[in-house]
Structure 1
């Protein structure tokens, strides 16, 4: 009985489903209010198919794409992709900019292309720059006088910025020495396969980006044009964008239209008709024309010598660069050579910008643009020009300026190290201009030329740096000197007794806890390294030994938390071994930061280890575990075996020689 009821229930449900299906087929629509439906919402089974059909290349249909992905050879990236991709996407690049068109962006070049091996090696290995390798192979071009500064790649991670805006990246490349291949990746793994379309590129590479949903706002043609003009306006290689424009053209009138016109005309205009028949019958029609539009037609005239550039070229460049209609009042074109070589053109507008004095000091000037190898880097400068010259417009371009990976900020460099020296902290904060002398010969020159234009040079790495101060500032300084007198005396008489001449409160430090300063006639850290590096230096020169043995002044920053805590500890217990070690570590660290060399690096390392043990609550007397020794028998057996083998080899060699003698 139960089986009968079950069969009946199943038939009823089947009938209900059939009836509902018939209703849907007849109606041809779906209920607007899904809440009224007794069935829950179901997953769209065709969404994957539609996505596959949408993600396709020219000449490949959805089935071919599916077949390619099934037969393609899968590879894993040559790095920890999950970590590296997160680093690239979230840290290395600050700006997420791209274009939008049919959710897929194609970038094509006619370069040398890549073989299958190069696709795997260059695109499958993160932090490997194919441009750097290519540049190394083309060093002979420089011998022939050709320039390779147009090659931009350096770090080997720029390509992966595509995953900022794309879920999938497809690279199609054709090299002269190989067939055309397709490289595809979703940032987790990549695949490479022969292109079934054959050679469609001739030679070169096409990068296709399947854009993310949140990147759809950038899918406007104007966005692409603006980005190209912003970052690559002065690239030597032409950059074209496939764009449309509306043109008014004249087309001949079709025969049917001409006949209709003739029927409506009267016979009285026979003469006029004969004249019209001699002329082509045309009409004006507006058509949408697609063509390649050149984006970087402006040439970087600053790369040429100023003598070769005509005045009209300067004026035309200024109008295009600044979007101004008037000619500039004045301009200067120059090349600066030194630690960093750069070329620049600066323009003074013919009229003052609107609101020049109303927004003085508050408005961020973006009139000076920095380029590296003709690629735009930034226009966010605070100290490039004085505030009273914020109306000056121009470009600065360098081929050797160091950049970080994102090419948005400067990288670590020798000059930047000099700018971050503790000696110039207060000077920069107060707005003083500092001359950075980074070459070994510079200090010799300053000693021989101590003044310029009636003003003496002041070495900020030595004593004698003084600032103008008000009465209130003077009172505050005297109060601090009295407050820190116990710490200063303790450093001079006990902790650093044999190392420093005196300890004083610093007026030049703002962020660093301390610094080591030479006397007015002593050696700076740079001069000390120079003198010790002299090949003829034997150590017997009396004057050299005198300067080298001079003690230096130890300056401390009374506002630094380390110095404040040291003062508290010294007041509590002057004989605290930990505080003494801390004082010595601070002194040795200041020695290094001030450019001097440590006489005993081993002692410095031991003190750092003691401080680390204290910070990690590890006993100072805790010993290093000894490595367990292996049994002697295990080491002797192989030696015996080797002796036996050697004996056997000697016997065989002896037998072979005996046979030769008999022969």
Structure 2
């Protein structure tokens, strides 16, 4: 792309030099020398005398360019897509119409009357001749205009016109480089331009993209009235463009919002009834006579009046169909646009059948001015996250209502790729081909404004949801207080309450569709992380159903006065989180805990260490504090620590490197023990996610696994009994060791970790079952002996076969006897 950009810059520079009276470099050099002379200081490396001698001996030459090679570069290297030719020609036609409209403001006679007063563009095609024709009723060109504008590469008639009317303000003209016309040679090997200007007769310009072109007065006279007609003689490999469907799609894509109406010639096929010729009638009469001779009856043939004979035939008619019926509503004030217009516009640009969830319409001013409408689709695409890092934004970028691109990543980050809408600017820095944007600081400014407005839109949805929910709660509380004496609601109140319910569910609906995108934004967008954090929604221990989701702001508002941290728990599923032993003490203290059951949740939390001054604390990690601890609790903890010291030493020695340490727990109430990880290590849920990844390396799992701390419940009977045994004997017996290991294994499973040594776990459980059943050994008993069958000789087999044959012969005889008896 950089190579193409450099070639384009060189192309425009060479073209400008060829058709200018003085070389650009020579001009720049003379200016630099004159400035240096005026300043009284010599140029570096030259004395004043040497500079004078150099000026006297200098010879000036002009750059030379091979025109055919220059045209080849413009045609084959400037544009990436052949479809662009139609956009360029329509844009040029729109500029021509804008010019005549501008001129008619001061001189109404310029516009003329009748057909000339109709400012429109018309596109037609001829499959047989393999041509495409674009016609506008714009300002037209004189003979000299054709030579200057069409025959001079990089000479922009629009730019020249804009310079002439600069004092009168911007006319919103599109062309600025003077090379768009040559895109026609992407699809055509010959181009004919017929143009009529009010101040000149009608002329024809023609060229085949070589080093020459011709201009001649039209022998047909004035057939256009005013304007320009461009006919493209398509190449063999571009015959697809002489097709109605193809042209309509291109016009819809690139020029849908051009100010002036665009008409496409359409072929309509219909069945019409036409009278039958006399010869055909005579032939039909002869057939009827022959049928009468053969004896066929005719009903009332003599009395019936003869009916005119007709037949149906297919007729094709040509008609002009308006293509750009959708208007650019972003150019209007948002106070003038109704909701139905916004919804209709969204469906037109997105081809979506559903209404948008919400939208925002704004005009940005400052270093760069642009207008934009951003929509949140009602339903997320089914493949929204299938190719997250390769999917382009769904925004459509326009410059003066001409589509530049609908696939780019410069303006919206990936996590907002679900947003749809349009952005229209009059002064974006485009490349010469107008297919891509130049890297420029204004793009960053535009991107920041679009992101800010997008987040404002989502923030408004979230605030409205919270406000509507509070109003509904207040109304419900008021009804509960009034009881049966409460007045019945009228229709207006019922309608208002229905709207409140719909608003209270709107953001939840958004979250279920696009919540993952917001979490990805928390990970990726550091500058807007605090704004995105306010958009997060989670189920908590206070939730009553699947739609009962709360924000972090609501969580903080409900925190206990002594609570300092926001408590979270990550688990594989909601059921697993609710059944976790880590919740026991927090539920007893009525502390709210946030459930994180989406695999991406822990990644997001790692990038969001705190919210509103409160740190997010996982309850499955060590050093968990509640904030309401008193001195008596600390003394009790110290007593438990001293009392359980024998068991702690025994388990630490027995388990070895399976645990980092064993401590007395203050977080569990019912379970005998739990396993926790270090503050900055992987949780059990994260270890499971890392192992489940498609490209996970099993050999690195041992480095990935966090060091685990075993927390024991000093009040649990199992722990108390194990501590008694550890106190009585320094070395545990086999049964005690098996119990300690079983305590470790069940704590691992109950805490959400995967069992690594499943074989050892199974053997220990069998030994515990043996001890519980008072079995002496787990050795298998001898298998039951099965007695051998009697030996069978060949003679026995032969006798058995003879007996079977005799039985088979007796069966028919018995059947016959039974039949006789009956």
TM-score between both structures, scaled by the size of structure 2: 0.38
- Using CA pairs under 8 Å that are at least 6 residues apart, name the structure with larger relative contact order, 1 or 2: 1
The structure where helix makes up a greater share of residues is 2
- Structure index of larger Rg: 2
TM-score between both structures, scaled by the size of structure 1: 0.47
